[in-house]
Amino acid sequence: MTIQQIKQRFSILGTSPLLDRAIDTAMQVAPTDISVLVSGESGVGKEVFPQIIHQLSARKHGEYIAVNCGAIPEGTIDSELFGHEKGSFTGAHEARKGYFEVANGGTIFLDEVAELPLQTQVRLLRVLETGEYIKVGSSKVQKTDVRIVAATNVEIPEAISREKFREDLYYRLNTVPINLPPLRDRKEDIHLFFRKFAADFADKYRMPTIKLNEEAQSILIAYKWPGNVRQIKNIAEQISVIEENRNISKDVLLKYLPENRGDNLPILFSKNTAESGNLSDREILYKILFEMKNDVTDLKKLVYGILHDRGGSKSISQEGQEILKDMIKASDSEASSADILRPEEFQQVTPVMEDKSSSNESLEEMQEVEEIIEESLSIQDMEIKLIQKALVKHKSNKSAANELGISERTLYRKIKEYNIK
């Protein structure tokens, strides 16, 4: 069976190579009894892959049971999975078979497996290693022949570090990993999904199909889709039901796309943010830029002190020496201090001030330096400057918005808000 046939049989939409790779892995592992862990963000369609594995295996005539581990209360999850004996707990009026007994010879799909309590994880590990389990309230060991396919949208290595998931269970489940890419990494599939859902809802609600113009398609593809396929289906249904005009423009589409407020704005770096360990690439970049600005400011002060010594002498000033020592000390941990001139070396290369005209020129330069030093660090002021530079550079609001990494709608709002001419 080919990948295309698998897509048709299980109604999988998409042409992304990353998706094809995941399907190919599922096809190869299906004939074996190896445990599989399907990972990916919420809404990417992880639930289809255990079905592919089951249907292409020798167990296809056996039971297939899907269990949502996050939807079962912690107090009853062991009873659901392994069964219980009569009278084993309050309300246990009769004995009950668990999923591992019912699915003997078949496949169990454990969705959101990272939500399992630690005690249940111990029981599951025993099933994976020996095929044995004990019912709740019983002392009799029972055997089962079940293939386990698990799925999660959680970064399990991170859960292990927080002691929320057992490391030995992770390695038992993750014999063959299948990772499903998020929709933002499958840009070629985004419009396909929208058209498919739009056609489905047009048929369901008996109305003409909505269509996106070219600008709206560009917005659709550029959007990050944090909710993946589930979110784009929701958006398609909303627009199909609410909009009377079936030709959807960019402005209409933007009304239905939640804005990622704050994602595209500069932020101030703080120690608390660093300690939390939740720094994005943008936050790290701005941290580096602010540190560079401080270093340049110190360097300008140092050079001015060398040239003037607050009194016009040839030697380096006391303040300049202190700043230079601090810079040398800070650089020792990052680079060789041999690359930085020592105070005595600076004195050897320091130009001599011979006339007032050169001194006046240096004073004018220093005034410019001090103007830069007093530059506002307000996020709003920096944002206004970035927007103005982008508008001057591109002469087009659309191109400027792309340069800034924000939507054109957000750019219009900020131009109006800040009264940018």
Q: Which amino acid is at 265?
A: L
**pLDDT value at residue 266:** 45
Provide φ and ψ at 336, rounded to 5°. Answer: -70, 130
pLDDT-derived band at 90 (thresholds 50, 70, 90) equals: confident
Residue 389 predicted with pLDDT over 80: yes
What CATH architecture does domain 3-181 belong to?
3-Layer(aba) Sandwich (3.40)
**pTM (predicted TM-score):** 0.61
CA distance linking residue 301 with residue 369, whole number of Å: 8
pLDDT digits (tens, 9 = 90+) for 229-253: 999 999 999 999 999 999 999 999 9
Interior angle at CA 61, CA 55 and CA 64, nearest 5 = 65
**pLDDT value at residue 269:** 42
What is the b/e burial string over 195-213, where b = at least 16 CB atoms within 10 angstroms of the residue's CB? bbbbeebbeeeeeeebebe
Q: How far is the first Cα of the chain from the last one, in angstroms, to the nearest whole number?
A: 62
Share the mean pLDDT of the chain.
Answer: 81
SS3 173: helix
What are the strands, taking DSSP E only, across 164-269? 176-179, 211-212, 247-248
pLDDT-derived band at 288 (thresholds 50, 70, 90) equals: confident
Residue 59 · residue 105 · CB < 8 Å: yes
**pLDDT value at residue 104:** 94
What CATH architecture does domain 184-256 belong to?
Orthogonal Bundle (1.10)
pLDDT digits (tens, 9 = 90+) for 145-176: 999 999 999 999 999 999 999 999 999 999 99
Dihedral sign from CA coordinates of 110, 113, 117, 118: positive
**pLDDT value at residue 299:** 73
Mean pLDDT, residues 209-213 taken together? 95
pLDDT digits (tens, 9 = 90+) for 298-311: 777 666 666 555 55
CA distance linking residue 186 with residue 12, whole number of Å: 14
Query: pLDDT exceeding 70 applies to what percent of the chain?
Result: 75
CA distance linking residue 197 with residue 230, whole number of Å: 10
SS3 127: helix
**DSSP annotation of 393:** H
pLDDT-derived band at 321 (thresholds 50, 70, 90) equals: low
Query: pLDDT exceeding 90 applies to what percent of the chain?
Result: 56
Dihedral sign from CA coordinates of 253, 257, 259, 263: negative
Alpha-carbon separation of residue 200 from 73, 210, 213, 237, 252 (angstroms): 35, 11, 19, 9, 20
Q: Which residue has the higher pLDDT, 288 or 270?
A: 288
CA distance linking residue 30 with residue 50, whole number of Å: 9
CA distance linking residue 124 with residue 113, whole number of Å: 10
CA distance linking residue 174 with residue 25, whole number of Å: 13
